[in-house]
Amino acid sequence: MTMPAKGFVRNFRPLEILTEEQMDSIHRGSLDVLEKTGVRFESQKALELFDKNGCRVDYETRRVRFPPGLVEECLRQCPSSFHLRARNPENDLNLSAGNTTYFCVFPGMRTVDLDTWLPRTPTVEDNHNAVKVLDSLENVHISVSYVPYCELEDVPPSMLLPTSCWSRMKYFTKPFRVGQAQESWIWGIKMAQALDIDVFAAFESAPPLTWYEDAIECAWAHAEAGFPIEVGCGAVLGGTGPVTFAGGLVASNAEMMSGIVLVQLLRPGLGTIANCFVFPQNMKTGAPGFGQIGISLFQSGYAQMWRSKYKLPTLLGACGPMAAKKPDAQFGYEKAIACSIGALSGGTIINAIGGLHGELTFHPTVAVMDNDMAGMIGRFLEGIEVNNETLAIDLIEKVGPIPGFFLGESHTREWWRQEQFLPTVFDQATVEEWEEQGKKSALENAKARVEEILANYEHTLPEDKEQELDAILEEAREYYRQKGLA
Amino acid sequence: MPVKGSARDFTPLWILSEEQVESIHRGSLDILEKTGIRFESERALDLLEQHGCLVDREQRRARIPPGLVEESLEKCPSLFRLKARSAEYDLSVGANTLYWAAFPGMRAIDIDTWETRVPTVEDNHNAVKVLASLDNVHLTPSYTPYCELEDVAPAMLLPTSCWSQMKYFRKPMRIGQAQESWIWGIKMAQVLDVDVFASMESAPPLTWYGDAIECAWACAEAGYPVEVGCGAVLGATGPVTLAGGLVSSNAEVMSGIVLVQLINPGTPILSNAFVFPQNMQTGAPGFGRIGISLFNVMYNQMWRGRYNIPTMFGSSGCGASKLIDYQLGYEKSIATVLTAVSGASIINYVGGLTGELSFHPALAVLDNDVAGMIGHFLEGVTVNHETLAVDLIEQVGPIPGFFLDKAHTREWWKQEQFIPQASDQLSHKEFEELGKKAALDYAKEKVDEILANYDHDLPADQEQELDNILEEAKAYYRQKGLA
């Protein structure tokens, strides 16, 4: 086995906001909901599989009621750690419920103009360029399905996911997820097999308590192909879930567990990621409350339960899309608070890099700034080294009170790089230097880094592999054309 | 009843093991006993000597026995009250409560050109009125918010700033340690019958200047709490390693506490950290750096967890950014989240921009929202039969079930959510239609609204007394040739 990418290793106990007793109450609540209320599955073959394995199935309402024993058993079957193979083995990941945190790309429907802040539909070329930037950022470890854009000029809806997947297969050398809409997984799995890499499935519930057929089919295909599955919940609390955080956890965890039961019945022991994309509702607009602090409360409780009680790796997605429309102070505090708390709470994958407003906009320049933020949080996770040398008692004795000074000591030269984290684009100048250099902001520095990355990007995919990918994309187009969808 | 602040409802984040905590503690005791601390005050050296310290008069160094240090730490109360002009603004400092303070800046800043300018006394009054009106500003440090004022002599800056706060702030405040300014701070506090607290800040490495000592002495004698602070730049005035920085900073704070507890045993103490990694390119403090967070979290664990003394932090109140932008937003909020979840008692945060250079009231309005958000997080999750909502989930069921129209949603949403005052919460369409206003635009409007509606409630006779004390200060410094 190759060495997994390093990610950030947390060297202290995570932040835990729930007591054991509170976690048990939430856990029992979910089991109650699964046993008494049940979950709706829009798939005849899924209902039959549950029926065979001891669930109570109402075929008319398509509702499945789960015995608690089966749920607990399936949770236990999920491995608490598994490997994801990337195109570049240096970028392989080891996902676990342990102490390693990775940062992930967060997509947007469209790109945005950095002067007018108006969204615009990107081209396929824009998508390629954004993927190249993401591939080059040192603190981006993994990606989700639509990346980064969910709309592309001159591409019909059915071809969006296959095209997005093809773009990443070409230019993203790190692991990523395959989407669940319109059978797009067929091409995702084929391309992954062509490159001999791992992908993972999106299997996302339709809250409250419902699974649609696309999601089930995507999971089914991946389980059969032996690829890991991300099982996700995505309620808006006050709309598709209870408005209270505790109730939101009860319902969301019940959805998660019902999906996990299906996955583990399909392929016992298959790698499973617990994904959280839950928002409080913005009670004025009815939209998800992007950027709200409730995201952090929910994700912190979620990460605690899935890491410590169920021992699954987690993916925290609600820290990617913000209420702010441009990367301003509001955007900075919304994203940094959600990402910090997600990471402190032991989240395995923080899904945040590059997303701007809601799920509407993404920009590679934002990704470059987020990459610095991720590095800072990662440095925090690594914690403090305490030993004779870092305690520096002899040095303090030697330097003494004023006029003692530490700058000239060899200890300072030897240790400063290890103790500090240096961002790539954040302005670190003095005010005088900043004025002399034209008052450049972090955003301007980030724009320059995007250009530099694109000018120097090295395309590493062998030509024959590229042709195979192109042929699979052509096959997909033909498939949807025959169905009248492309 | 004192103002509630934000009550943390979970175990704080701690990043050191018990063993590491002990290594750092023993390191500080070693430094105090062997290296010693320089006190630039004859009477401080006398007092320390009387109580068993080994004093070198020539070097002005006091070596402090571990027993005296431990005993002094034990004398500090873990919880104390600060009385404000109006009882509704009284604070109860310590335990699991977090309060937010303003963060000062030397100057005002123009939000269009991002150039700084020296503010007027009127600017200071207005900024204080804004701070007084924000829900999540509970107290202020000494210079608030500006440290330079047009047509005010350096000696009169702290008395003028203090006078401005006494008139318009209503909530508790700290008084400054420079140039005997505490004389006027204490007098003004006595006139209004409010508590103030002293600033006693070390000069790292391991040194106390006379001003800081005298300010603490005067306040401790008058029965006011003392904030004892450390402020090393790691790599210059402290070791570059975070563990070593903590050893020497704690030694400085402990030595200050020993002195205060000898002056007036039982004086309430706030342990203040204002420590930065050094920016190795410029030699300046590394504002906005993640090392600030690592340091603050350890500091909380030592002072709250081991010594049980309330803590105060200023280093998350400003950033390296020169603008109110993404960088400033993440720099300030990452450091503040981490400082808050690790158990801080007070965070000096609201309104500070670049380094200690600039402050803006519109930024204070934005920061007030962030403080509210973080405070809401600290309050945690309510778990009971009603919030678990198992019966409601059963009633609503799968799709097409919906929660929006349920009584449970109407009853609980305001308690579960925090609504910021100045952030953009619109859809993209509404944002475009309403002129693409961002949070900073809303914050500026809020500043205007506050100033238009500010209700000045200080009785005229008390105002006159404050003005007289300020006049007295002016005469005092004039005689010394300083004003």
d(CA A322, CA A335) in angstroms, rounded, equals 7
* pLDDT confidence of residue B3: 73
The verdict on a CB contact (< 8 Å) between A420 and B291 is: yes
Q: Do A332 and B329 touch (CB under 8 A)?
A: yes
Q: What is the mean pLDDT of each run of 10 residues along chain B (483 residues)?
A: 84 97 98 98 98 98 98 98 94 97 96 95 98 96 91 96 96 94 97 97 98 97 98 98 98 98 98 97 95 98 98 96 97 98 98 95 98 97 97 97 96 95 94 96 98 96 98 97 92
Question: CA nearest A406 in B: which residue?
Answer: B236
How far does A156 lie from chain B, in Å, by closest CA?
24
**φ, ψ at A251 (rounded to 5°):** -70, -45
pTM for the model stands at 0.96
**Do A393 and B30 lie within an 8 Å CB cutoff?**
yes
pLDDT, residue A232, reads: 97
User: Residue A2: what pLDDT?
Assistant: 45
State pLDDT tens for residues A148-158: 999 999 999 99
Instruction: Please report, in angstroms and rounded to a whole number, the separation of the first and last CA atoms in chain A.
Output: 41
For the purposes of burial, counting CB atoms within 10 Å of the CB of A437, is it exposed (0-12), middle (13-18) or buried (19 or more)?
exposed
- Those residues whose C-beta lies under 8 Å from the C-beta of residue B284, and which sit 6 or more positions away, are A430, B278, B355
The CA distance from B119 to the nearest CA of chain A, in Å, is 18
* Look-up of token digits 């619109």: B426
B34 touching A (Cβ < 8 Å):
yes
CA separation for the pair B171, B138 (Å, rounded): 6
pLDDT in tens, A195-222: 999 999 999 999 999 999 999 999 999 9
Span A77-92, pLDDT tens digits? 999 999 999 999 999 9
Q: Residue A262 is encoded by which pair of tokens?
A: 């299906």
Tell me the percentage of chain A whose pLDDT exceeds 70.
99
The phi, psi pair for B149, rounded to 5°, reads -140, 135
Output the pLDDT for position B2. 61
| Per-residue confidence (pLDDT) for residue B424, from 0 to 100 | 96
What the block records as the tokens of B153 is 């002599």
- Name the residue among B331, B409, B427 with its Cβ closest to that of A243: B409
Residues B105, B349: Cα–Cα separation, whole Å:
11
CB B196 within 8 A of CB B474: no
Average pLDDT over residues A171-197: 95
Asked if B381 lies within 8 A of A29 by C-beta distance, the reply is no
Model ipTM over 0.85: yes
Cβ–Cβ of B15/A411 closer than 8 Å?
Answer: no
pLDDT digits (tens, 9 = 90+) for A134-149: 999 999 999 999 889 9
Is A427–B322 a contact, with Cβ atoms under 8 angstroms apart?
A: yes
Instruction: Name the nearest CA neighbour of B271 among B241, B310, B323.
Output: B310
Contact A26 B383 (CB under 8 A): yes
The encoded tokens of residue A292 equal 């709200």
Q: Which residues contact B406 (CB under 8 A, 6 or more apart)?
A: B392, B396
Q: CA angle at residue A470 from A467 to A471, to 5 degrees?
A: 85
Interface contact flag, A441 B294, Cβ < 8 Å? no
Mean pLDDT of the A6-26 span: 96
CA-nearest of A192, A263, A184 to A229 is A263
Best of B37, B341, B402, B417 to disrupt the A interface (most A CBs within 10 Å) is: B417
Q: Does residue A5 carry a pLDDT above 60?
A: no
Nearest chain A CA: its distance from B28 CA (Å): 8
Mean pLDDT over A346-353 rounds to 98
Collect all residues with Cβ–Cβ distance below 8 Å to A484 and sequence separation of at least 6. Answer: none
Contact state of B326 with A301 under an 8 Å Cβ cutoff? no
Residue A319's nearest CA partner among B290, B63, A300 is A300
Cis peptide before A208 (omega within 30 of 0): yes
Is the pLDDT assigned to residue A313 strictly greater than 80? yes
Helix orientation angle between A160-171 and A124-136, rounded to the nearest 10 degrees: 40
Record the tokens describing residue B242, joined without a space. 């975070």
Q: How far apart are CA A302 and CA A235, in angstroms?
A: 13
Q: Which distant-in-sequence residues (6+ apart) come within 8 Å of B354 by Cβ?
A: A431, B105, B109, B287, B318, B319, B320, B321, B322
pLDDT of residue A6: 78
CA B448 to chain centre: 25
Residue A198, number of CB atoms within 10 A of its CB? 19
User: Which of A325, A386, A392 is facing B428, going by the closest CB pair?
Assistant: A325
Q: Which of residues 210-269 of B touch A (CB under 8 A)?
A: 234-244, 247-248, 251
Say yes or no to pLDDT of A1 above 70.
no
